[in-house]
Amino acid sequence: MSTEEIRRWHTSPPRNWSDIGYHYVILLDGTIERGRPLDIAGAHVRGHNKDSVGVVYVGGTDSDGNPKDTMTHQQLFSLYKVVTSLRNLFGPLTLHGHNEFSSKACPSFIVSEKLPYLVDHV
């Protein structure tokens, strides 16, 4: 999966969004790619798009499409880099999974359990 694939998925029917919903995409090898510009509200979590930055990692499902924590070490390192950079830019920020705001499984883990250092150090 690539950023462009996600962009096509978001901008095609039935969604027809103006752009990819996320501001950053972290690929399997840890590459960080830009999605939607930071000065434009995302489309990543209903009710919180205007006051948050959307970061997604490629994966999160097993081979049958069931939710599973598949985050690689490279993706985890890149997530730390993205969050640190955003905190340097915006100041203290909290970290949440999509599953805290809707009945979705993503990111397929509990953020506060997997990433306590990032959650506790706003």
Residue with the two structure tokens 């993503």: 106
pLDDT digits (tens, 9 = 90+) for 24-76: 999 999 999 999 999 999 999 889 999 999 999 999 999 998 999 999 999 99
Quote the domain boundaries for residue 96: 3-120
Measured CA to CA, the distance from residue 23 to residue 33 in angstroms comes to 9
List, for residues 75-112, the tens digit of each pLDDT value: 999 999 999 999 999 999 989 998 899 888 889 888 88
Number of domain units in the chain: 1
**What CATH number did the domain enclosing 7 receive?**
3.40.80.10
Question: What pTM was computed for the model?
Answer: 0.90
E strand intervals along 1-122: 24-26, 32-34, 55-57
Tell me the two tokens of residue 90. 């915006």
